[in-house]
Amino acid sequence: MTVDYYALLTKAVAGKDTLGRDRVYRDAHDLIARSHLNREVAASHVAALEAAIRRIEDDIAVEEGRDAAQINEVLSPAGSNWKPWAFGAAALAVAIALAALVYGYVVTRGPTLVATGVTAPPPKAARAREDVVMADLKPGEDGGSSGEGLPFSLQRQVVFYRTTVVPGSIVVDRENRFLYLIDGNNSARRYGIGIAQECLKGGSLFRVTNKLEWPDWRSSAATRDAEALAASAGRPGSPLGARALLLDKPGLLIHGTNSPNTIGHLVASGCIRLVNDDVEDLYRRVSLETRVVFVS
């Protein structure tokens, strides 16, 4: 069945700001996810939806740029001496409007299309994210297990993803803070991640060697707090979260967290982290010896 997403969404987002449009786009994605379509059909619908969203946002960008130019023309003082300033102000207003729209769209929607191969992630500027280390909650404190409070692009979702990596493998996009579990039919299940500085570099090909439920956390040599260890082991509040996938390199692992707000950022501890709901979902879908590919 063919759905005219462009026509439907154009009516639904009429008069809405960036956040309002994002909620409509999110509801459309959720509707496809709940429709129980097979993978190939669902991926086709997601691709059509994303194409419609990009077209709508492009239309809005052009319209807002035109409005900004008209306003500046009306407000410009009369007289030829002021014309260069008027033209400059109009151009600046158009540039600001377009930049603001693109920024809002990229941050809320995130990249969903990757060219053939996994070596061509979206541009660095598209992330619009400062590389500052986000502070963790203390061991034993539970910040929640869900990613509902995160930007939509960092929430778990099925996306169009064309790659030569074998289905069932994991791809970790260090730079853009995403982890992909590759499905067939050019689609993948995408998770938002936080990443520690020491895990930003290194090798690119690994495999899963062990799976742990509620891994026990051990603090650094500088802070040996027995009470903190007891409070964090085996329950929400553990800095390593609900599940962990150990890779065939010491210190390299994919795990949960007690600090969901750190997803999408550099972090102070661990390695590759997901919110607990996401790492549990990944844990159920991944087996030992699964290939893990890191890209930058």
Task: Let me know whether 21 and 138 are in one domain.
Answer: no
Q: What dihedral do alpha carbons 286, 162, 275, 18 form, nearest 10°?
A: -160
Task: Let me know whether 55 and 146 are in one domain.
Answer: no
Average pLDDT in the 81-103 region? 62
> Which tokens in the block code for residue 179?
């982890």
Q: Which of 71-80, 84-93, 217-226, 270-279 has the highest mean pLDDT?
A: 270-279
**Residue 123: its pLDDT value, please?**
47
Domain count for the chain? 2
> Which tokens in the block code for residue 171?
């791809």
Tell me the per-residue pLDDT of 2-27, one tens digit each, with 9 for 90 and over: 778 888 888 887 888 777 788 888 88
Residue 84 to residue 282: CA distance in whole angstroms:
58
**Residue 13: its pLDDT value, please?**
79
Average pLDDT in the 166-185 region? 95
Residue 126 to residue 124: CA distance in whole angstroms:
5
Angle subtended at Cα 128 by Cα 124 and Cα 130, rounded to the nearest 5 degrees: 95
Task: Let me know whether 207 and 231 are in one domain.
Answer: yes
E-state strands within the chain: 133-134, 157-160, 170-173, 178-182, 187-192, 194-196, 205-213, 243-247, 253-255, 266-267, 272-273, 291-295
Q: Where among 109, 143, 172 does a domain terminate?
A: 109
Average pLDDT in the 95-114 region? 54
- Which residue type, as a one-letter code, is found at position 34? R
**Residue 59: its pLDDT value, please?**
84
SS3 of 173, please? Answer: strand
**Residue 121: its pLDDT value, please?**
46
Q: Is residue 162 part of a domain?
A: no
**Which residue range is the domain that position 10 belongs to?**
5-109
Tell me the per-residue pLDDT of 116-139, one tens digit each, with 9 for 90 and over: 344 444 445 444 445 788 888 888
Task: Let me know whether 74 and 137 are in one domain.
Answer: no
**What's the mean pLDDT when you consider all of the chain?**
78
pLDDT band per the 50, 70, 90 thresholds, residue 179: very high
Kindly list the distances between the CA atom of residue 107 and the CA atoms of 27, 48, 186, in Å, as whole numbers in the listed order: 17, 20, 23
**Residue 201: its pLDDT value, please?**
84
| Global pTM exceeds 0.75 | no
83-109 helix and 39-75 helix, angle to the nearest 10 degrees: 160
The separation between CA 142 and the C-alpha centre of its own chain, rounded to angstroms, equals 22
CATH number of 282's domain = 2.40.440.10
Tell me the per-residue pLDDT of 44-78, one tens digit each, with 9 for 90 and over: 888 888 888 888 888 887 776 665 555 445 444 44
**Residue 115: its pLDDT value, please?**
35
* 232 and 139 Cβ atoms separated by less than 8 Å: yes
pLDDT band per the 50, 70, 90 thresholds, residue 80: very low
Task: Let me know whether 132 and 279 are in one domain.
Answer: yes
Task: Let me know whether 254 and 129 are in one domain.
Answer: yes
